[in-house]
Amino acid sequence: MSRRAALAGGAATAAGFAARRARAQAGAPLKIGYGLPRTGYLGVASPVAEQAYLLWGEQVNAAGGLAIAGGGRRHVQFVSYDDQSEPSKTAEIYEKLISDDAVDLLLAPYGTPFHIAIAPVIERNRFPVVAAATLSSLLRDMHMRHMWFPQPLPDAYGVILAAFLAAQGVKSASLLTLQLPASLETRKYLLPQLSSRGISVALDQDYPNSTADMTGMVSAVRQAHADAVICLSYPQDSVLYVGTARELGITTPVQLLLIGPGEPFFVKKFARADLEGILTIGEWTPDQARWPRARAFNDAYVARWKEPPDYLDSTVSYASCEILAQAVAQVGLDHDAITAAMDSMAFDTVKGPIKFRGVENISTQPGLLQFQSGALQIVWPPDIATARFRPKTGWSL
Amino acid sequence: MATPILSVESVEAGYGEVRVLHGVSLHIAAGGITALLGSNGAGKTTLLRAIAGLLPASGGRVAYRGTSLHGVPASARVDQGIVLVPEGRLIFGDFTVEENLLAGAFCARARSRRAETLEEMYARFPMLRQRRRQMGGTLSGGQQQILAIARGLMSRPALLLLDEPSLGLAPMMVAELFAVVRDIRDAGITVLIVEQNVRATLELADDGFVLETGRITLRGSASALLGDDAVRQAYLGL
Amino acid sequence: MTWQLLLSACVSGALYAVIALSLNLIYGTMRLLDVAHGEFVMVGAFAGYFLVTLLGVPPVLALLGAFALNGLAGLVLYQWLFAGIIRRARSTESLESTSLLVFFGLSVILQNGAALAFGGTPRAYERYARIVHVGGVAITGNRLVAMAACVLAVVAVLVFFARSTWGLAIRALIANRDAAAIVGIDTQAAFRLTCVLGFGLAGYAGAVIGLMQPVSPFMGGQYLMIGFVIIVLGGVGKLVGSVVGGVLIALLETVGTQLTGPNYRDILIYGTFIAVLLLRPQGIFGRHAA
């Protein structure tokens, strides 16, 4: 075969391939991949994130598909795997999603260690991922080029929490910290903030994940007589704390739990009188009138899953889909173009407007939520608040 | 002749690949003491375990009162009246003496008359009554043997299989034990006994069999066996 | 405050005792290495949860419902699965290794099945939420009910094993399987009963946990670990040992961590565990190496 014929043949093949590809793209669904822990220790926590992904996908498909810049709409098809709560598996899963499954887009995994695990994979492949369920300033500070953080992070919560405590006239605080990343980081950033505002730490106790009884710790809290109790907990020990604080009659007016009160089961576990006044972190409620889509998202989620969304993980997971979708609608599926769009675009999400500078969300103000009459209200900072803070007045008998 | 209480016909049995019994046949009439003699490893314990149903027979037939015991599990054989008092006794060391005895009356037939049988055992063996709150494991060897036999009797058996009951006992205890075995026979229970103590056993027994390398080599009345030259040479050292 | 701690320890201790008793029945009697025990606890917790929230059954009756459902499941599993495994096993070691694999499979199936059927998110309900004062110590009603339910179950089980014919039969099987067969104990029937009791009690314990804490498909693991630690402490097959071991672990967890610090929990529990393994490998109440 002559050199010319070979070239011509190669060109013909390439042209045919491109045509097939274009045809396939026009009809074929858009593949969006993710890995989440369906089993293992995080299996209990991740459904609130996955349900947000699935709801978003169903809504997009019901609306005729995802709009792509210059290319109409394509239906969304998820490709997902169980990482069994092991970060090393997550890295393999994202590697496989990119190379074997050839997905068009990726959604975030669940939890900080899992975001860290996929960082090298997405950086190497220059594949943009909007982070979701992670609370880690350290991760943000890794200076990745292809991961953005819509959720306010522990350093920001440390600042506003200390400001809130100072505004309530709190002079001393008792700190209980679970030995898991989000709790430890929050403590790390909170301590200097407390000290700069002149709030003393009356008790600073950390505890392991295996803790099954908090009677001793909460007794120490009672003896410390601080003006505030900050329990940097996860859902399981949030339940333990409330039960124990009730039994021991902890009447401190400010009692905050880090993660748990925003999860749907929490409301069912305790009487309204006991929930009343409990604080947690978060800046989303369906009642935030300035974000009109918050209520619509809440209602759609409740209709689909028969339970309310988690105020942290469900909303940020859903928002991460919206951010990606809006970028694709603007610039198409090219990964470098999406990456560039993340820096320049402003996004409109169920959590309100989001704009990134570098990898950090500079629009969303971190906030604090409080149970009032059975619902979580934003009580801090004042400019996004939906209700005023009310001191906790003890527990039901 | 009346139907024998136990018929063993061409029974083969063993452990895994190792065959120990190569077609053993014997018949035992109801009401007497039958001695099963043989050297170590001849298969006496294996035969008793096969009769008790603890070891499946790979060939031949075991029949009790004319009915085949094929497929009948050990627990059901106890219910029918066949009880083994094993070598090494296998009493429950962590149970009290009384619990050991009560465990012996588990089978349905014996359970309803448990209290009555227990009283009989205490009357027959006052030592057991004295020690009924004591743990089985704390008894002396001879006392444990008595307990094991009493536990066997708690099921109200018709056929008692005794495997080496005198093993490790002091001579005085052995004499007492043999008296117990005679009493059991006199109470109408058929006894098949395996013993090292050949002379005493043959003096006690009505009939006897000699088992050699998995086969019956000699049978007859106890007195005839006592006078048999082969028996005298092999087992009595004469 | 000491009384408050002791009462908390009693609540956990009573629960741990029931879990360890149930595991000890399965492992001690049949030598089935039940690494799915935490999942049987989880199934019972869900049974209790649905009986209370869907059918409106009073929680105390839901405990019995969970016992019955799990016991029935245990019986069916014995007939279909465990009986064959026990029959085919050539030695205790081979039975333990085969059953380990089977139960590992069961645990994966139960966990994933529950996650598929009920979703992975935790579920919780609130009953008996009033605070009760017991001589200056305050305790939530549900924890008091949970403790009472566990104490009753433990007493009932121990009395059953001390007094009843079948209890004696199962103890005889634990003590010496050959000797039990010789005295005419129907091994099959006793194993069936053990499965009903062992798995039923696991379900009962699960429903008790549901009284106090959220239930989820992944809740079982921690109770499996505690269960095995306790039966090694108390001795395999030693039922009273399981009860004492359960209370001991709860005391270490509650009072021990108060004296040292919350971070010493695992060191205290597993340190005691290893110390017992080194000094008394047969368990605190065991007589001989099993």
What are B128's two structure tokens? Answer: 């057991």
Residues of chain C found within 8 Å of residue A111, distances taken between Cβ atoms: none
Closest residue of B to C179, CA-based?
A: B90
Would strands B190-194 and A200-207 be described as parallel, antiparallel, or unpaired? unpaired
Nearest-angstrom CA–CA distance, A372 and A376: 6
Q: With contact defined as beta carbons under 8 Å apart, do A203 and A187 qualify?
A: no
CB contact under 8 A, A268 and C123: yes
Binned at pLDDT 50, 70 and 90, residue B196 comes out as confident
Q: Does C165 touch chain B (CB under 8 A)?
A: yes
Q: Which of B84, B91, B106 to mutate to test the interface with C (most CBs of C within 10 A)?
A: B106
Closest residue of C to B105, CA-based?
A: C183
Chain B with chain C: Cβ pairs closer than 8 A: 73
Query: Residue C143's domain spans which residues?
Result: 17-219
Q: Give chains near C: 3+ CB pairs under 8 A.
A: A, B
pTM: 0.87
What are A160's two structure tokens? Answer: 């506003």
Q: Where are the alpha helices (DSSP H) in C119-186?
A: 141-163, 165-175, 177-182
CB contact under 8 A, C121 and A48: yes
Q: How many CA atoms lie within 13 A of A103 on its CB side?
A: 25
Q: Does B106 touch chain C (CB under 8 A)?
A: yes
Number of structural domains (chain C) is 1
Share of chain C above pLDDT 70, in %: 98
Lowest mean pLDDT across A19-23, A133-137, B178-182, B198-202: A19-23
Look at residue C239 and tell me if it is in a domain. Answer: no
Nearest-angstrom CA–CA distance, A131 and A125: 16
Among candidates A228, A223, A222, A258, which has minimal Cα distance to A167?
A: A228
Number of structural domains (chain B) is 1
CB contact under 8 A, C140 and A248: no
| pLDDT tens digits, C180-198 | 999 999 999 999 999 999 9
Q: Does C8 touch chain A (CB under 8 A)?
A: yes
Nearest-angstrom CA–CA distance, C138 and C84: 50
Q: Which stretches does DSSP call E strand in chain C? A: 131-134, 137-140
Residue reference for tokens 């040292």: C260
Look at residue C2 and tell me if it is in a domain. Answer: no
Would strands A228-232 and A254-257 be described as parallel, antiparallel, or unpaired? parallel
Q: Does A217 touch chain C (CB under 8 A)?
A: yes
CB contact under 8 A, C129 and A41: no
Chain A with chain C: Cβ pairs closer than 8 A: 124
Nearest-angstrom CA–CA distance, A122 and B175: 89
| pLDDT tens digits, A38-84 | 887 788 889 999 999 999 999 999 999 999 998 789 999 999 999 99
Q: Give chains near A: 3+ CB pairs under 8 A.
A: C
Q: Does C128 touch chain A (CB under 8 A)?
A: no
pLDDT of residue A43: 84
Residues (pLDDT < 50) of chain A are: 1-24
Q: Does C39 touch chain A (CB under 8 A)?
A: no
CB contact under 8 A, C143 and A206: no
Query: Residue B231's domain spans which residues?
Result: 31-53+73-235
Query: What is the CATH classification number for the domain harbouring B133?
Result: 3.40.50.300
Look at residue B230 and tell me if it is in a domain. Answer: yes
CB contact under 8 A, C213 and A248: no
Nearest-angstrom CA–CA distance, A262 and A276: 13
Look at residue B11 and tell me if it is in a domain. Answer: no
**Chains A and B touching, counted as 3 or more CB pairs less than 8 Å apart:** no
Look at residue B127 and tell me if it is in a domain. Answer: yes
Partner-chain residue, chosen from C218, C258, C265, that has the shortest CB–CB distance to A44? C218
Q: Does C171 touch chain B (CB under 8 A)?
A: yes
Nearest-angstrom CA–CA distance, A346 and C276: 63
Residues (pLDDT < 50) of chain C are: 289-290
Distance from CA of C217 to the nearest CA of B (A): 40
Nearest-angstrom CA–CA distance, A315 and A297: 9
Nearest-angstrom CA–CA distance, C223 and C35: 10
pLDDT of residue A13: 47
Closest residue of A to C1, CA-based?
A: A219
Q: DSSP per residue over A240-285, as a string?
A: HHHHHHHHHT---SEEEESSSTTSHHHHHHS-HHHHTT-EEE----
Share of chain B above pLDDT 90, in %: 72
Among candidates A51, A158, A67, A146, which has minimal Cα distance to A341?
A: A146
pLDDT of residue A6: 42
CB contact under 8 A, C115 and A43: yes
What are A164's two structure tokens? Answer: 């809130």
Residues of chain C found within 8 Å of residue A396, distances taken between Cβ atoms: 129-131
Partner-chain residue, chosen from A211, A239, A268, that has the shortest CB–CB distance to C265? A211
Look at residue C254 and tell me if it is in a domain. Answer: no
Residues of chain C found within 8 Å of residue B110, distances taken between Cβ atoms: 184
Q: Structural domains in chain A?
A: 8-151+290-361 (3.40.50.2300), 154-281+367-384 (3.40.50.2300)
ipTM: 0.87
